[in-house]
Amino acid sequence: MAAPKMEKTKTPGVFKRGGRYVVVYRFRGQQRKRFADTYAEARDLKATLRADIRRGEHRETATLTFEEYAREWIGSYTGRTSRGFRESTRAGYRFSIEERAIPFFTKRSGTIAEIEPRDIRELVAWLFDEKVWRRRVAVGTVRGHVAAVKVLLATAAEDGLIRHNPAAGVRIARPGGADIEPDAAEQRRALDSDELERFLQACPPEWELLFRLFAMTGIRIGEAIELRWKDIDFDARRLRVRRQFYKGVLGPPKSVNGKRDIPLSKKMTEELWTRRGKPDELVFTAPDGRRVQRQWCWKEVLKPTAKAAGVPWVGFHTFRHTCASILFASGKNPKQVQMWLGHSDPGFTLRTYVHLIDDGLGDADFLDAAGWATPRATQAT
């Protein structure tokens, strides 16, 4: 069947074709077309295009699909600041884009330029959907996936492929309103002394030292599996964190402050000394002698041990929270805990772990005997 002919309208450059309207214009010497559902929309579009072209602000909308642009972007993105872009961050972005965003947007026909804020909101809802993932997804996990999409679309806007970033300003909130109780991960839950003891007792003997080191030093799993014997200063009783292995990429720690020297207890130092190997050898290895893989350790060691110990909610980061809890209970201040854990600043440490800190205020009975607290004492003389 032949396509309907374009019929002239009262507005130059606006034509009717079947049940839709076509806006014809020239940009950079070439004739181009845009479409509208109504005559009013077509007239407004024509006026906007003319004004943008005249001011030099017009950008052609992309004809690329989300997947086409995303696969090129993930390999070439260099960051949005002069500090550059960590390959470990790229690995995280790659997972979010390839395993989450591309499957979602592939279901929707159209170009990257047609993505709207409502599509991003639908993406958020899909990422939270327990029927899709067969589990409850943490808010932080969804926020990380959307962050990758937001950066990608911001780059597309800078490249002139889209007029604006549709993900800018989209809130990350679980559908159905706020939870009565936050996710365990969002509570920064730590093991108490009894729970930690049960976990260590249930842990396979060959892995007990690793998890005890987690609780005593607060190092991240990526830092632990890259730890080498040369990183342990036995004389100074210090653990030097200089590298991490994250999502298949070897690189520096998560932040500048991630490079740190962590104190070791005398007992821990002595135990490590009895197991020491050659300087460049890994401290912890898998049964086959190779590098420990995070997912394998989580599935084969951490989760079975946590279940056996009666603390099935425990994850790798739980031991980092446990370390913070121990440090604060021992009287360390936020600055000291920040340096111990390798946070960017003590303010972040305080915001993250404020619930672990005993305010130390005690009761207010002493005020009853304070003469300066009477109304007469507060009057101006």
Contact predicate 149/78, CB 8 Å: no
On the question of pLDDT at 86 being above 80, the answer is no
Mean pLDDT of 178-182: 44
In whole angstroms, give the CA distance from residue 224 to residue 218. Answer: 10
CB atoms within 10 A of CB 226: 24
Q: Which tokens belong to 36?
A: 């509208």
- Residue 170 is predicted with a pLDDT of 86
Q: Quote the percentage of the chain above a pLDDT of 70.
A: 85
- 17 pLDDT tier (thresholds 50, 70, 90): confident
Phi-psi category of residue 275: left, alpha or beta, with phi > 0 → left and psi -120 to 50 → alpha: alpha
Q: Which residue has the higher pLDDT, 352 or 162?
A: 162
Mean pLDDT of 300-321: 92
- For 91-95, which contacts have Cβ atoms below 8 Å and span 24 or more sequence positions? 91/246, 91/247, 91/248, 91/249, 92/144, 92/148, 92/246, 92/247, 93/148, 93/151, 93/152, 95/247
- H-helix or E-strand containing 227? none
- Residue 84 is predicted with a pLDDT of 63
On the question of pLDDT at 63 being above 90, the answer is no
Q: Which residue has the higher pLDDT, 80 or 215?
A: 215
Mean confidence (pLDDT) of the chain: 83
Q: Which residue has the higher pLDDT, 367 or 46?
A: 46
On the question of pLDDT at 297 being above 90, the answer is yes
| pTM for the full predicted model | 0.57
- Residue 341 is predicted with a pLDDT of 87
Contact predicate 282/228, CB 8 Å: yes
Mean pLDDT of 149-157: 89
- Residue 230 is predicted with a pLDDT of 96
* Least confident among 78-92, 222-236, 248-262, 315-329: 78-92
Residues 6+ apart with CB under 8 A from 79: 85
Q: Which residue has the higher pLDDT, 343 or 380?
A: 343
Lookup result for tokens 């005398």: 266
* Least confident among 50-64, 75-89, 222-236, 304-318: 75-89
* Least confident among 86-90, 217-221, 277-281, 315-319: 86-90
- Residue 185 is predicted with a pLDDT of 41
- H-helix or E-strand containing 122? helix 117-128
Q: Which residue has the higher pLDDT, 17 or 129?
A: 129
Mean pLDDT of 130-153: 89
Mean pLDDT of 174-191: 57
